[in-house]
Amino acid sequence: MRNELIDRFERDGYVVLEDFYSSEEVAEMLTAGRNLCFEAPKEERKVFSTTSPESSQNRDKYFIESGDKIRYFFESGAVGKNNEILVPEAFALNKVGHALASLHPIFRKYTFDNRIREICWQLGFQRPAVAQSMYIYKNPGVGSEVVSHQDGTFLFTEPASTVGFWIALEDATLENGCLKFIRSSHKTDIHRRYIRNADKSSKEILIYDRPAPVYQLSSFTAVPVKKGTLIAIHSQVVHRSENNKSKASRQVYTFHMIETRHTKYSDENWLQTSEPFPILYER
């Protein structure tokens, strides 16, 4: 399995591992994610945009300071002017992040699972750490598009080391927004970065250092998967997901590992924490 996993990951920039989690394990994570819908304090009803991130978080410390906390981000149109919920609570959240792996017992359990350690070991990690973790809802009819991007845009290390772990807790289909990849695009560099603005006089706390690249939609390969599937994603592979046009949600739990041995996590990255990222293991 070692050579097969590495070969596919190095060839395509991602690898799909079906039936990675049992139906009971998936149900436990799904229940925990649904429970989060009813735990957001009223004052924490912040809107998050996946198509124009700067519009929702650029001037918002709630987002900037979420790296070591559990914080709640709502769909556009789900929250009114007086912070009232305009849709059923179960369908209001876009995501919850970014420290579920550290602070929530269920998600900590599955992030620090020996199976995850084994994958990281096979991929050559020496001292992997969990940089961020999120629960993403992609609710029916309102689940937002996620524009084409590379994970390394947001979590940049030198040398490149970030790997995303994307766990399907429900079937991900063409209709509800499965992942789509430009296969082998990880063999290029990081195309742009999302960084903290060094100009302290600016109202823009976070900026992109370059204009958005243009990717041909015909270059993307759709990757529909069944619940219980794990997808490991290279930091430089270009991927996206379309808005949910179906009546079925597409909930996932996802987290990102970075190498901490002989690797520099950029001080310019949006995500900074007061404490070191939790370590998965040390060789």
Predicted pLDDT at 59: 46
The 10 Å CB-count burial string (b at 16+, else e) for 71-85 is: bbbbbbebbeeeeee
Is the Cα torsion angle 276, 278, 280, 283 positive or negative in sign? positive
Q: Is 205 domain-assigned?
A: yes
Could you tell me the CA-to-CA distances from 4 to 44, 94, 185 in Å, in that order? 44, 35, 19
Q: Is 139 domain-assigned?
A: yes
Q: Is 271 domain-assigned?
A: no
Predicted pLDDT at 80: 85
Q: Is 275 domain-assigned?
A: no
Can you give the residue range of the structural domain that contains 114?
2-265
For residue 227, the domain's CATH number is: 2.60.120.620
Q: Coil, strand, or helix at residue 32? A: helix
Residues 166-178 pLDDT 10s: 999 999 999 999 9
Predicted pLDDT at 144: 87
| Under-50 pLDDT residues of the chain | 1, 54-59
Q: Is 195 domain-assigned?
A: yes
Predicted pLDDT at 200: 86
Q: Is 33 domain-assigned?
A: yes
Percent of the chain with pLDDT over 90: 80
Domain count of the fold of the chain: 1
How, if at all, do strands 70-74 and 46-47 pair?
A: parallel
Cβ-based neighbours of 137, under 8 Å, separated by 6 or more? 33, 37, 91, 93, 94, 95, 143, 249, 251
Q: Is 282 domain-assigned?
A: no
Structure tokens at 111: 């992030």
